[in-house]
Amino acid sequence: MQKIKSFNFTTSAFQKSDYSALNEFQLTEVGADKMFLNGRLYNISAAELLNSYQVEGIRALKKVDGDFTLFVISSQKIVIVRDRHGVGAQVFYNRDFITSNLSDFTKLENFECKPNIEALFTFMSIGYIPAPMSSLEGVKKLPAGHCLTIENGQTTVTDLFPSTEYFARNNTCKLALDEAVVEYERLHKKAISQRIENASKVGLLLSGGYDSGGNISALRDVYDDSITSYSIGFKNNQWTELPLAKLLSEKYGSKHYEYEIDGSEIMNLPQILSVTGDPFQEGGLLVNYTAMELVRQSGEEPDVILGGDGNDQHFGTSGKELALHWKMKQKRLQPFQKMFDYVGNLGVFNKDNILFRTEFHNRKILYIQQSDIFGFTPYEINKLNSTGLKIDGFEYLKSHPEKFENFDAFFFNRNLNIDIKQVINEVILYKSSRMAELFDNCMTFPYMSTDLYEFLSTLPVDYKCHGTFDKLSSGQGVSKYLHKEYLKSKLPTEITDRKKQGGFAPLPIFLRDDKQRKMLFSYLRKSDMVKLLFKAHGIDKLLNHYENSLKSKPYWFWFQQVKSNQIINLLTVAVWWDMVINKKNISSMNELV
């Protein structure tokens, strides 16, 4: 298994036939064309792919199942492609320079390193910066499943998997439920077999849920040798899933390793940002970070590690909120929702009480066709920032449709444009693969196989999110229905009967220790980023409000989660600013505070 490696080069180097920046990648040559593979292919060889490319052009890349970034070099043209879900190395670029590491731009003599303020404020709200935007002005990111072509000094970007193709497949499956279950199981096991082929040692991430449980169950059906499993929990916290993960390990016979997060892990934030490039923060980020660190510390060195990431999103999430939004719209109640959302900006809603909880749910339902806002709302950003820039909407939403013929079309739009293109491609898979890269681990994701992706896109809504419209809107629908039908007789009842918790960390744990929290808050108040972008009294008020909230008994978990998320988002941008704009070489928060 080839592990992901970094790269950087000037486009002019290729005009001189200088390919030294890619020398460590797998090289395939057919005629005058050269293909450099950075990653792994599962259903085709590199030579076969290059032959197909010479006949079909970039269309040949659409059926590839793999985790890769690849380069095809012709006499006058460079073609760069990222896999469908963005597991392969990120590509940051401008007209003259291409790299997998954003900070490489800061080392260029003629590059003016200026922060993209709109991008940073977008991150402050949703926790990531959607491609093609990046955190530096004049630099773009290549989205997952896209092709960048450089020819005659011009760059063009092509979406290999346009929305029209996905929507054309929706609801085309003619299989009965039991037949669809059999086909889904076949494709899942096929994906695992392809990913562990030639591996002498297999690792696997275990939580306490259907997705990782499905992986270890299917793995045991196709693989008899030893398995090493890894699980992350939380010290003194109800959200820990270690007992359930251990149950799966014992049932399927894996050598098991565990780690409990205690909150000190946030001090490694600079290491994380060194591989994400842009500011990035998501509830499960430090879970992935510690999992990959645990793999390295175990000394087992598996050739490949299977992750269950992204399966929720492939089936479609937020069925209840989608149904409630549709019902509100049909009953013409959305004007009242919008009025309540506007009133929800008042300070009385910014407390750990029923008002905050009600507006949190109202906003989730009202804006269900957008990425979740667990950071600052646009209103809060506009009020806090001192730049004069006002956020009225998000750039990534401009290409999304606003009208839908029926509920199925409404469901499938979110499934593709939010669940898949945003949450899987920009967040879940990016997070997991970058943390694997940090520790030189080889991660792969069987549920993301091309065959499974295309099969799931044909399913009716009821196979993905089961239940009548009224049941969905009342929260009684069954998410990942086909997946659960496949596994309900295979997994322990302790797994199948429990309510899903989600693969996130309780973020207050990173701000729980008094000494560490005060240290981080002091750093924030003094940071150049805060001084240049935000009103000092507003940040003081935010931090003091958090301190005061710790003195009383919490009312609702998600209030604490959102407020912790906001502060960690601020902290992330402050550290990113020091590393990229101020060009500080740091690996731990201890070097900054």
Q: What is the per-residue DSSP string for 22-74?
A: GTTSEEEEETTEEEEEEEEESSS-HHHHHHHHHHHGGGGGGG--EEEEEEEE-
Fold of 8-160: Glutamine Phosphoribosylpyrophosphate, subunit 1, domain 1 (3.60.20)
- Which ranges of 80-154 would DSSP assign to H, the alpha helix? 117-126
- d(Cα 563, Cα 496) in Å, to the nearest integer? 32
Amino acid letter for position 238: Q
E strand intervals along 120-226: 140-141, 146-151, 154-159, 202-205
Q: Which of 551, 560, 546 is nearest to 518 (CA)?
A: 546
pTM beyond cutoff 0.85: yes
* Residue-level pLDDT at 256: 97
Q: Which of 437, 454, 446, 417 is nearest to 66 (CA)?
A: 446
Phi-psi region of 454 (alpha: psi -120 to 50; beta: other; left: phi over 0): alpha
* Residue-level pLDDT at 1: 47
Top-level class of domain 165-315+406-496: alpha beta
* Residue-level pLDDT at 4: 65
Amino acid letter for position 499: K
| pLDDT tens, residue order, the chain (593 aa) | 455 678 999 888 887 788 888 888 999 999 889 999 999 999 999 999 999 999 999 999 998 999 999 999 988 889 999 999 999 999 999 989 999 999 999 999 889 999 999 999 999 999 999 999 999 999 999 999 999 999 888 899 999 999 999 999 999 999 999 999 999 999 999 999 999 998 999 999 998 899 999 999 999 999 999 999 999 999 887 768 899 999 999 999 999 999 999 999 999 999 999 999 999 999 999 999 999 999 999 999 999 999 999 999 999 999 999 999 999 999 999 999 999 999 999 999 999 999 999 999 999 999 999 999 999 999 999 999 999 999 888 999 988 998 999 999 999 999 999 999 999 999 999 999 999 999 999 999 999 999 999 999 999 999 999 999 999 999 999 999 999 999 999 999 988 887 765 557 899 999 999 999 999 999 999 999 999 999 999 999 999 999 999 998 999 999 999 999 999 999 999 999 999 999 999 989 998 87
Q: CB-based burial of residue 263 (10 Å sphere; 0-12 exposed, 13-18 middle, 19+ buried)?
A: buried
Q: What's 230-241 look like in SS3?
A: EEEEECCCCCCC
Tokens of 340: 């309540």
* Dihedral, 295, 297, 298, 299 alpha carbons, nearest 10: 100
Residue 464, CB half-sphere, CA atoms under 13 Å: how many? 27
Start and end residues for every CATH 3.40.50.620 domain found in the chain = 165-315+406-496
Rg for the chain, CA atoms, rounded: 24
Start and end residues for every CATH 3.60.20.10 domain found in the chain = 8-160
